[in-house]
Amino acid sequence: MSSLVRDDVDGVDDVDDESGQEGREGGGTAAVPGRYRREELALAAGVKVRNLRYYQERGLLPPPRREGRIAWYSEDHLTRLRLISDLLGRGYTVNGIGELLHAWEAGGGLSQLLGLERAMTRDWVQEDPVTMTLAELAELFGPAATAEDTRRAARLGYVRIDGDRVTHRSRRLLEATLTLVRQGVPLTEILDAGDLVQTQAAALADRFVGLFRRHVIGPDGLEHLSATQLDHISSAAATLRPVAGEVVATEFARAMARRMEDEVAELLGTER
């Protein structure tokens, strides 16, 4: 997987000697869940390695834990790095973020804030990516898929192409697509449906998040909330995840049942 997203990370010249040594020494070891080397952390957070080092130099990011010559970063580092990126995106300066983080730490609320970020952003998507060559993908779909279909799937975010390799973000979606294709549904029309589903899903997500923002977080945002209030919001966010999914799944199942009944009645020439 890492080879498919290397273009998001700075080149070798941006990595200091120690980080480069880490990569050479640990190149043959499997990734440890919840632990990241510097480049892995930058990759997961969507930032440049040089920016990560800059945040450390400015005191925004705590130092990593060291095991021998290897520096390990944790999930807390990733969460804090995402928070920094979010605050930068909202117009805060690096100095302003430093002051804000210091104020939260002094007030005892930073751990709750980081916990809230984890509760609100983690575990929504639990998918098993699938990586193969473009030739293997073509063999899998046969003549039903064209190069344009693959490019469109990439634009929709279903696949990521890197050279002659392609990664589908979800084994379940890939298998569902293959099932439909093997039943004779054109891949182009499946992608049309996927485009529609993404648009409708985004609208539903906007609605749920809007309700949460207005009625759970409140109009003042997070900056002035107490640690107790942040804990309450974090708990509410964890509760929202299964509720939102269950509501959407239930309503879609009900809609499919009604639509299928109508279709069967039409095929049989009867009235419901």
Where in the chain are the domains? 2-106
pLDDT tier at 114, thresholds 50, 70, 90: low
What is the model's pLDDT at position 237?
82
Strand order in the sheet with 130-133: 130-133, 165-168, 159-162
* DSSP assignment letter at 127: -
Q: What is the pLDDT of residues 218-254, one digit of tens each?
A: 877 766 666 677 778 878 888 888 888 899 999 999 9
**Class of residue 94 by CB neighbours under 10 A (exposed 0-12, middle 13-18, buried 19+):** middle
Contact 157, 199 (CB under 8 A): no
DSSP 225: -
33 to each of 25, 41, 92, 201, how far by Cα in Å? 19, 12, 31, 29
**What is the third-level CATH fold of 2-106?**
Multidrug-efflux Transporter Regulator; Chain: A; Domain 2 (1.10.1660)
In the chain, the DSSP E strands lie at 35-36, 65-67, 70-74, 130-133, 159-162, 165-168
In the predicted model, is pLDDT for residue 153 greater than 50? yes
Strand ranges across the sheet with 35-36 = 35-36, 70-74, 65-67
How high does pLDDT run on average in the chain?
A: 79
Model pLDDT for residues 41-91, shown as the tens digit of each residue: 888 888 888 888 899 888 888 889 988 888 899 888 888 888 888 778 878
Q: Kindly give, in sequence order, each residue whose CB lies less than 8 Å from that of residue 189, ignoring residues fewer than 6 positions away.
A: none
